[in-house]
A and B are shown apart, each in its own frame.
Chain A
């Protein structure tokens, strides 16, 4: 008995990824989980670290693909694997450095920065779901207005542009109001 398996092909999956199709991302995640996590696990990493590195690598790949900044000349797995390698090397270097440094100086908590981050996260949370999505797709995925309109079911790109403008304005107002209270604007 011979077993073969066929599916939607690499090209189709990549095209879906470029369009910001999260189902395709989930599919890839599942498909390459073993291959990618093995790299970390067999190089003195834990399973949790392996999962973290793989997720980070996949998100780097996703961001590059959705932003239109990626022309794939190899298989997706090859590309993602190389990102995993780089990230894990960096992490190993970071761990090495940390172990060589004085523990006390290694962690200096910047309270102002963390307070800013808390405020910003709170402001983002106050936005409606659609607003959040529009802004995230625009600033993280760097998707085109056309793709954002299609993904969120807007009538056209002008609607997407207007929505983005209004949502960003709202977020800016929320942030600036909070920053003023905390004197973070100076």
Chain B
């Protein structure tokens, strides 16, 4: 029968938590103790079983995560066709959003026609950002330009330039920091480098507004609300428990913001400083468009 101390050491040994010296000392004891060897075999099986059970649990959990947009591969579409389809989709969604929120502005009609071609982006650099520390910026700011400059998409530069000088009607998804692990891919998939940038999940980009989330989480009055104040977006409620995303659409120097939170989309009205309740968008067509945009990032 192994002692408590031996069982503790055995535990650390199986979890690989022993230092080199302690490990070899324990292995020495183990070699000369048949009882301890037997105990180790049992403990090894118990620990392995716990690990397998946890892996199965995690896989089950992941299987229950809704995947909104499955890969388009296997449909027989060529790369060019997929890029074209993406552009059409971007135009349609952009147009729809524009018309939806700027119904009085007829210039939205010509949105997709002038859309510059989207080259597959290759931005292996790390764009990890800290949204909570940034102040509100004009719809397309200097920082946008520098963000864009980091990417290899010349049309995005055009986009930000035109937004700086004068409002345009062009539609282009900007700052699509698409991760393209082309170096890693070469060994196994030489074709991948030319087949990227249309739909692969990208890295998180910086919203142009600072977000203060989870404040006043216990305030009974404002438990799921938002407010624009002092160039910041304040989210009232227990937002720290789940992840949220801010989706920004820029058009004619006007920004339209949506919040994505727990599978729902919320329109954020920036017109005043009032605290407003977050109400999920219920229009299925709008939700579908936002979902597509989010999935295509």
Contacts and interface: CB of A to CB of B under 8 A. Distances in A.
Interface of A: 1-11, 13, 16, 22-27, 29-35, 37-39, 41-43, 47, 50, 55, 58-59, 62, 74-75, 77-78, 81-82, 85, 88-89, 116-117, 120-121, 124, 132, 135-136, 138-142, 168, 171-172, 175-176, 179, 185-186
Contacts of A171: 46, 50
B46, B94, B245 interface centre (most CB from chain A within 10 Å): B46
A8 B171 contact: no
Given A39-B189, A82-B184, A185-B38, A30 B65 contact: yes
Interface string B34-76: 0000100011011101111111011101110111111101100
Contact of A2 (B14, B69, B71, B249): B249
Given A38-B73, A141-B54, 8 more contacts: A1-B250, A1-B251, A4-B207, A5-B205, A42-B195, A43-B188, A120-B49, A139-B50
Interface string B169-211: 1111111000101001101110110010001110111111001
B293 A3 contact: yes
Contact of B67 (A13, A33, A116, A142): A33
A7 B51 contact: no
Interface stretch (B20-28, B122-130, B217-225, B280-288): B122-130
B43, B52, B55, B181 interface centre (most CB from chain A within 10 Å): B181
Interface string B232-246: 000000000111111
A74 B66 CA distance: 27
Nearest to B43: A172
Nearest to B294: A5
Contacts of A22: 61
Given A10-B204, A43-B188, A1 B249 contact: yes
A62 B59 CA distance: 12
A136 B51 CA distance: 7
A140 B54 contact: yes
B131 A6 contact: yes
Given A4-B250, A39-B185, A85-B184, A34 B179 contact: no
Interface of B: 11, 14-15, 17, 38, 42-43, 45-47, 49-55, 57-59, 61-63, 65-71, 73-74, 94, 97-98, 111, 124, 126, 128-131, 140, 144, 159-160, 163, 169-175, 179, 181, 184-185, 187-189, 191-192, 195, 199-201, 203-208, 211, 241-251, 260, 293-295, 297
B46 A7 contact: no
A3 B61 contact: no
A16 B244 CA distance: 13
Given A39-B188, A140-B54, A55 B248 contact: no
B128 A9 contact: yes
A32 B201 contact: yes
A56 to B, nearest CB: 8
Nearest to B125: A75
B104 to A, nearest CB: 16
A2 B245 contact: no
A78 B174 contact: no
Nearest to A37: B71
A41 B191 CA distance: 13
3 smallest beta-carbon distances between A and B, as pairs: A6-B207, A120-B49, A10-B128
A124 B59 contact: no
B188 A3 contact: no
A103 B213 CA distance: 58
B243 A135 contact: no
A29 B66 CA distance: 10
Contacts of B173: 2-3
B232 to A, nearest CB: 13
A78 B172 contact: no
B203 A77 contact: yes
B59 A4 contact: no
A68 B68 CA distance: 31
